[in-house]
Amino acid sequence: MAPPLTLPPLSLYIHIPWCIQKCPYCDFNSHALRAELPEQAYLNALISDLEHALPLLWGRPVHSVFFGGGTPSLLSVQGMNQLLQIVRSYLPLVASAEITLEANPGTVDMSRFRGYREAGISRLSLGVQTFNDEHLKRLGRIHDSDSARQGVRMACDCFERVNLDLMYGLPSQTLAQALQDVEAALALGATHLSCYQLTLEPNTPFARTPPPLPSHDAVAQMGEEIEQILHHTGFRHYETSAYAYPGHECLHNLNYWTFGDYLGIGAGAHGKLTTPQGILRQMRPKHPDHYLRAVAAGQPVQEQYLVSTQALPFEFMMNALRLIDGLPASNFERSTGLTLQQIQPALDRLRRQALLSPDPERLCATPLGQRFLNDVLQEFLD
């Protein structure tokens, strides 16, 4: 018999759905600002949304907070202060809580960074993408390489934990250029890197008019060589796209990948909460106007459902197998309330194909399994 569902750690995600302008490759829930940021109205909505969700949280401690976007660094220091004070008054944040802010190098300066830090932000994630001016232009970014470098230097001066988002496989990018970006990030002192392969997301300008991308083999080689450089520099590749110096891993994202709970507030935010009835998934309305109206009507949640028993193995594995070291097999039973026997046939098949580690005590994709993760996950669909 599987042990009863145990309450995993809880995180809070706060979505800020605006950007100065929309990048042509991006399908995140982000909207170009056409007028002034409706900051106070949105902050009020976030606060009502949080109040509405409190009964589901039963005073549980919160281990991390993540401001994602969009471009959360559009929020004023005063607005951030106000919001974090309310969050702290409503939720018991643990003393060591990691509080991350995503920032665009085109929207920051030193006084803003200092203000954010004083408001309680402990980790900064900067969307650099590349340090190459030609590529930045091609990506429609609002910053150039000088402001990216300047932003990283300021971030590293102000925050002990800094992540840089980089993308590779960019239009007309060579292997040498992709590696230069990683070298530049290391030289500037980042302790965490998220290296994403550029993907053409449906319904984006890049998907409609594809730019000339490097070949599949060239992009694969970029990924391998980036991994090698980072390995030699002492970074640990701990998740599909994430690299960190030991001890600098992102605790908030680790909570997703270990199938932890999270409340998501703000436009389009998703949540996963363990309740006495089972695992509840929630979605807020995506468009900022719809979200503001839904909150004003006292109904911030657009859709919610209990995850079916059949869907749980896929949902757990989709997260756990992104971790390069996977998870202890016992986590599956604790997190899903199912028994390992229920997925044993799938585990056996994948182990025979060398896609999963043979260690029965761990659920871990082999390097081959990591390359074909989508195929591996198909085995856990009901």
Residue 236 contact partner, candidates ligand SAM, ligand SF4, none, CB within 5 to 8 A by sort of partner: none
H-only helix segments in the chain:
39-53, 77-90, 110-119, 133-138, 145-158, 175-187, 205-208, 216-232, 251-257, 288-296, 312-320, 329-336, 344-352, 367-371, 373-378
Residues 10-29 that bind ligand SF4 (CB under 6 A): 19, 22-23, 26, 28
Give the C-alpha distances (Å, rounded to integers) separating 350 from 86, 135, 277, 315.
47, 40, 32, 17
Nearer Cβ to ligand SF4, position 34 or 216?
34
DSSP bridge pairs for 100: 66, 123
Q: Residue 98 in contact with residue 252, Cβ under 8 Å?
A: yes
- Could you give the CA distance from residue 338 to residue 344 in angstroms, rounded to a whole number? 12
Q: How far is the CB of 157 from ligand SF4 (least distance, A)?
A: 23
If phi > 0 it is left, if psi is from -120 to 50 it is alpha, else beta; for residue 172 that is left
The binder of 29, among ligand SF4, ligand SAM, none, by C-beta within 5 to 8 A per type, is none
Is residue 114 left, alpha or beta, with left meaning phi > 0 and alpha meaning psi from -120 to 50? alpha
Residues between 126 and 145 with contacts to ligand SF4, criterion CB under 6 A: 127
Q: What is the footprint of ligand SAM within residues 215-254 (CB under 6 A)?
A: none
In the complex with ligand SF4, the residue whose CB is nearer, 17 or 369, is 17
User: Interface with ligand SAM by CB under 6 A: which range of 21-29, 172-180, 263-271, 295-303?
Assistant: 21-29
97 three-class SS: strand
- 186-205: which residues touch ligand SAM (CB under 6 A)? 196, 198-199, 201
Note if the bond before 70 is cis, omega within 30 degrees. Answer: yes
Is 120 a residue that touches ligand SF4 (CB under 6 A)? no
22 binds, among ligand SAM, ligand SF4, none (CB under 5 to 8 A by kind): ligand SF4
Q: Which helix (H) or strand (E) holds 24?
A: none
- HSE, side-chain direction, 13 A CA sphere, residue 225: 18
Question: Which of residues 2, 20, 26, 47 is near ligand SAM by CB under 6 A?
Answer: 26
Helical (H) or strand (E) element with 172: none
Task: With beta carbons less than 8 A apart as the criterion, state whether 112 and 77 touch.
Answer: yes
Structure tokens at 102: 């995503």
- In the complex with ligand SAM, which residue's Cβ is closer, 216 or 232? 216
Minimum CB distance to ligand SF4 smaller for 71 or for 336: 71
Measured from the CB atom, is 219 or 254 closer to ligand SAM?
A: 219
Q: Is residue 17 at the binding interface for ligand SAM, with CB under 6 A as the rule?
A: no
List residues binding ligand SF4 (CB under 6 A).
19, 22-23, 26, 28, 30, 69-71, 104, 127
List residues binding ligand SAM (CB under 6 A).
25-26, 28, 68-69, 71, 102, 104, 127, 129, 165, 167, 196, 198-199, 201
